[in-house]
Structure 1
Amino acid sequence: MKNLSLRTRVLTGSAALVAVGAGAFGAVAAASPGDSAPQAAPAAAAAKGEVKNKDTFASDHLTIDAATKAAQAALDAAEAANQRVTVAVVDRNGNTIVTLRGDGAGPQSYESAEKKAFTAVSWNAPTSVLVGRLAQTPNLKDIPGTLFLGGGAPVQLKGAPIAGIGVAGAPSGDLDEQFAQAGVAALGK
């Protein structure tokens, strides 16, 4: 085989590549979607990043329309009381879905509203209730992203938190929380 010409070696190599390519094409074609070919082996599925159903769970989340409806209801309640606030709605994981900053709301209200919403959904309780827990556990306030002031309300489905609404900017946390509760109430309509 040492005496093969360059031309013979190129032709032999090309033929080998064609054979490998045809084999790969055949394997891909045999596994195309919609065919009744058997499913890939579990090891192949794992290599593609697929997991078993028993390794997952489903959770409920507000739609963007529902989050916007709740935020607007909270903002409307604040405006009816002549208060300038910001309203934030976060999902179960604490990610912001929507934030509405009312006309004339203070610059601190944006971040405060998000933190109140995050705190409410994290503990599945109004933030005014959580303020009382600080007396027993003062280091709760050190948890990043939280704000233990009245103005946050959880949104629940079957008792489980699925979102949080936070309001900030009114002269008291009680008012902020009243507006947040108006947002929660709008979802039940």
Structure 2
Amino acid sequence: MQVKKFSTRVKIITAAAAVALAGFGTAGVVSAAAQPPAQPPAQPPAATKAAVPEKATTTSTHLSIDAATEAAQAALDAAEKEGQRVTVAVVDRNGNTIVTLRGDGAGPQSYESAVRKAYTAVSWNAPTSELVKRLESAPTLKDIPGTLFLAGGVPVAADNAPIAGIGVAGAPSGDLDEKFAQAGAAELG
């Protein structure tokens, strides 16, 4: 193998080219770093706040998640003491589920039934066992979506206004379900 020898002239030109490339790279980094920072995106205009008269609004009371959980746990504990496998649901005044506890071994149908009983109780501010009796004179009540007219749901009220409903499902009778729901309501005082 033959090794070529480069002339001094070629060595100087090559070195000068390498220095020039390194210089261009450094200048590019320096010039890029010297650019002023990009302007932050323009902020949208502030929303206009409407002044709503106080008499045009209402304030409502809601059951806290902690209180709902305590009530549900008390109902579930009452059922377990009697060897019953149930699901307990607590809904807010608007029928939205706050908490649901499905006890060990509770049937699959019990989840939806507990939610619907709680919703029915808060909607009419009455225990579902009483509402079942109303079906005799108004049988189409049962056609209202989301309701279930079986014993096992009780309302929770504050200042005589419903703020939540507790529903229990899964015991062999609605009377037992309602007994356990009452235990949950009693936990709230």
TM-score range, shorter chain: 0.7 to 0.9
TM-score relative to the length of structure 1: 0.74
Q: Distance in 1 between the 2:72 and 2:180 partners?
A: 9
AA partner of residue 97 (structure 2):
T
Alignment of 1:149-188 (within 5 A): 149-188=150-189
1:45 to 46, 49, 66: 49
Q: Give the alignment's Cα RMSD to 1 decimal.
A: 1.8
TM-score where L is the length of structure 2: 0.74
Provide the rounded CA distance (Å) in 2 between the counterparts of 1:55 and 1:129.
35
Q: Secondary structure at the residue paired with 1:154?
A: strand
Q: CA deviation at 1:53?
A: 2.3
Cα distance in 2 between the residues matched to 1:45 and 1:160: 31
Q: Distance between the aligned counterparts of 2:136 and 2:110, measured in 1?
A: 25
User: 1:95, 1:76 → 2: CA distance?
Assistant: 23
Return the offset for 1:55: 1.5
Q: Secondary structure at the match of 1:45?
A: coil
Letter in 2 for 1:160: A
Q: 2 CA distance for matches of 1:51 and 1:105?
A: 48
Please report how far the alpha carbon of residue 45 of structure 1 lies from its aligned counterpart in structure 2 after TM superposition.
3.1
In the TM superposition, what whole-angstrom CA distance separates every residue of 1:27-84 from its partner, at most 9, and x where no partner exists?
x9xx9xxxxxxxx9xxx533xxx63322110000010000000000000000001000
Aligned length: 146
Give unpaired runs (5+ residues) of structure 2. Answer: 1-44
Question: Percent identity over the alignment?
Answer: 77
Whichever of the two has the greater Rg, that structure is 2
Give the secondary-structure state (helix, strand or coil) at the position aligned to 1:106: coil
Shift of 1:110: 0.2
Q: Does 1:62 align with 2:63?
A: yes
